[in-house]
């Protein structure tokens, strides 16, 4: 273990915080003070596909999805309604070490509040993001997957703030749990996941007045976390890292490509049960083509169908990626084929309803993510602030794989190898301490 730049690090994942939010968010009191006293970028580039669980796994492993193996929020579960599907909730699904594993080896304390893909992880104080499905009991599932006494204590104190997963109550609960953890545990690494901005964009679009309200509430939560660090007496030794995981794009058309596969018999019903030889797993702005193993005929037929569909302007296929192209993106290859949607379009797994749904005609607002990180105006926001960080230092384009090695460098732990690099340019060259003025 090498010398750390700071004793404590608070990581705030600000889900869907992207460059289109920067102008308004950066003027709000708490984020603006972090920016003034730190380094920042509006060009943090995500990974493909830009889905929350894929990206958060890259954040903590420093490697791309082709290495860590979390290729989607959910494993493939054809014909099962989205709200009944299992997600990649558990650490065992990650095929690479995480930075919190390295902390444990160094006998340093880590804490996680609703951080994705951390069920049964090596986090000392862990309240994982996890959901009961079917007949499962939500409380029991969390206790089995997290740190039981830690979770019970937080639930007893703050559970009444929640109304299921409704916002803003869920993020208010996360903020209170984070504050409590700072004051009672003083972990070297605290990771928190806030979801309200992502929810609001999905439901209202990216440019709704609702978004401005969420930005204000989120800035207040950031302020509460900063104040808790001050109250805990560890402010001078703490670095704050606030970052988005992906952007979102407004959607007018939803396209259900599995209906084309069904028309051609690649998805079929037999004795009241559904079967598939080829299946499109939507990732919002992109989709995976899944193929049954060693079924070359199904592969060729599916590709013919999709190549023909790509010629139809109203079906929204911008690109069909081959395995070689996916390797350049470091995307998990699955069958070796992925579809990218045009801006304004997204994909949907469903076999029911019309092939193309025009949301504008139904007077519905909707936005989503999952698109290629190369899409224009789709980068994420990033702020890192603390005594060891340069002031008002603007970074250019940085990569999501740079986050984990930079976390390790801040805390002074050995971690790697990574696909990313330590953002060495954010650190003050001399060791003289600056005193931050981050007050309400």
- Cβ contacts of 150 within 8 Å, gap of 6 or more: 125, 126, 127
Taking only the tens place, the pLDDT of each residue in 219-243 is 999 999 999 999 999 999 999 999 9
Task: Supply the mean pLDDT for the chain.
Answer: 96
Instruction: Write down how long the chain is.
Output: 440
Taking only the tens place, the pLDDT of each residue in 413-430 is 999 999 999 999 999 986
Taking only the tens place, the pLDDT of each residue in 344-353 is 999 999 999 9
- Cβ contacts of 227 within 8 Å, gap of 6 or more: 179, 440
Taking only the tens place, the pLDDT of each residue in 306-316 is 999 999 999 99
Strand partners, 14: 194
Query: In the structure encoding, which two tokens stand for residue 365, read together?
Result: 């607002």
Taking only the tens place, the pLDDT of each residue in 18-38 is 999 999 999 999 999 999 999
Taking only the tens place, the pLDDT of each residue in 57-96 is 999 999 999 999 999 999 999 999 988 999 999 999 999 9
Domains annotated for the chain, with CATH where assigned, are: 8-248+376-426 (3.40.720.10), 257-368 (no CATH)
pLDDT in the model for residue 270: 96
Q: Mean pLDDT over residues 6-19, rounded?
A: 98
pTM score? 0.96
pLDDT in the model for residue 241: 99
Query: Residue 322 — φ and ψ, nearest 5°?
Result: -95, 175
pLDDT at 436 over 80: no
């Amino acid at each position: 273990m090498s010398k750390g730049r700071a004793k404590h690090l608070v990581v705030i994942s600000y889900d869907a915080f992207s460059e289109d939010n920067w102008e308004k968010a950066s003027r709000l009191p708490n984020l603006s003070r972090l920016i003034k006293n730190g380094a920042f970028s509006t060009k943090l580039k995500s990974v493909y596909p830009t889905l929350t669980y894929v990206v958060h796994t890259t954040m903590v492993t420093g490697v791309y999805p082709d290495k860590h193996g979390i290729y989607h929020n959910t494993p493939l579960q054809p014909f099962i309604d989205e709200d009944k599907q299992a997600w990649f909730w558990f650490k065992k699904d990650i095929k690479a070490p995480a930075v919190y594993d390295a902390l444990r080896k160094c006998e340093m304390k880590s804490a996680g509040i609703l951080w994705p893909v951390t069920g049964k992880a090596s986090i000392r104080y862990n309240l994982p993001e996890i959901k009961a499905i079917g007949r499962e009991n939500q409380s029991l599932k969390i206790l089995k997957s997290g740190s039981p006494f830690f979770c019970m204590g937080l639930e007893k104190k703050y559970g009444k703030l929640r109304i299921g997963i409704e916002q803003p109550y869920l993020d208010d609960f996360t903020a209170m749990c984070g504050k409590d953890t700072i004051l009672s545990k003083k972990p070297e690494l605290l990771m928190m996941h806030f979801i309200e901005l992502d929810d609001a964009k999905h439901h209202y679009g990216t440019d709704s007045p609702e978004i401005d309200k969420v930005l204000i509430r989120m800035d207040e939560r950031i302020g509460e976390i900063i104040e808790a660090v001050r109250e805990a007496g560890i402010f001078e030794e703490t670095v704050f890292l606030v970052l988005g995981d992906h952007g979102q794009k407004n959607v007018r058309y939803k396209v259900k490509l599995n209906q084309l596969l069904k028309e051609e018999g690649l998805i079929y019903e037999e004795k009241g049960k559904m079967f598939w030889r080829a299946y499109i797993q939507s990732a919002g702005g992109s989709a995976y083509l899944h193929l049954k193993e060693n079924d070359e005929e199904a592969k060729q037929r599916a590709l013919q169908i999709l190549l023909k569909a790509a010629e139809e302007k109203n079906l929204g296929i911008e690109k069909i990626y081959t395995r070689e192209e996916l390797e350049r993106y470091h995307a998990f290859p699955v069958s070796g084929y992925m579809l990218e949607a045009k801006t304004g379009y997204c994909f949907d797994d469903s076999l029911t309803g019309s092939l193309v749904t025009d949301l504008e005609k139904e007077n519905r607002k909707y936005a989503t993510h999952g698109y290629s990180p190369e899409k224009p105006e789709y980068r994420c926001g990033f702020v890192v602030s603390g005594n060891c960080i340069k002031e008002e230092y603007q970074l250019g384009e940085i990569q999501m794989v740079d986050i984990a090695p930079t976390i390790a460098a801040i805390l002074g732990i050995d971690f790697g190898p990574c696909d990313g690099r330590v953002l060495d340019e954010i650190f003050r060259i001399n060791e003289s301490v600056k005193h931050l003025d981050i007050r309400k």
